Amino acid sequence: MKTLVIFYSYTGNAKRLAQEFAAKEAADIVEIKDARRPVKLKAYSLGCFAAIRGKPWPIQPPEVDLAAYNRLVLFSPVWAGSPPPAIHAVLAQLPDGKTVSIKLVSASGKSNCKERLEAVLKAKDCTLEGFEDIKA
């Protein structure tokens, strides 16, 4: 099964963990970048508002073809209990029928979005293979 590690990182924690995981698994890796990186105030205000509601923000087109992989491992920070809007954007772009693992990196090691993300993936005929909260 061909694996792609996908990550978004605002301050570098998810990036480091994603890179370590990809190196260990000998998997390809791609970074998801905001179309315009939000300043801290915007991340904590509008970013969290969108994160909680599962709303996407514009992202730069991913530099690899997501459809070329069967298994996707997604590393993301937690913003207000949920993944940030850039991750909601990439979830909306996922091709149907993939096997997906989600690893959420946060200060508390807690999120509150598993069921919601599971429903998003189910609507795309994707299987949630694993879900992990990681305290960074």
* Residues contributing to the site for ligand FMN (CB under 6 A): 9-15, 43-44, 47-48, 77-81, 105-108, 136
CB of 86 to ligand FMN, least distance (A): 10
CB of 111 to ligand FMN, least distance (A): 7
Q: Please say whether the beta carbons of 89 and 122 come within 8 A.
A: no
Nearer to ligand FMN, 54 or 77 (CB): 77
Question: How many Å apart are CA 15 and CA 135, to the nearest integer?
Answer: 14
Nearer to ligand FMN, 11 or 60 (CB): 11
Question: How many Å apart are CA 116 and CA 99, to the nearest integer?
Answer: 17
Nearer to ligand FMN, 3 or 34 (CB): 34
Q: Please say whether the beta carbons of 31 and 7 come within 8 A.
A: yes
CB of 121 to ligand FMN, least distance (A): 21
Count of Cβ atoms closer than 10 Å to residue 41 Cβ: 9
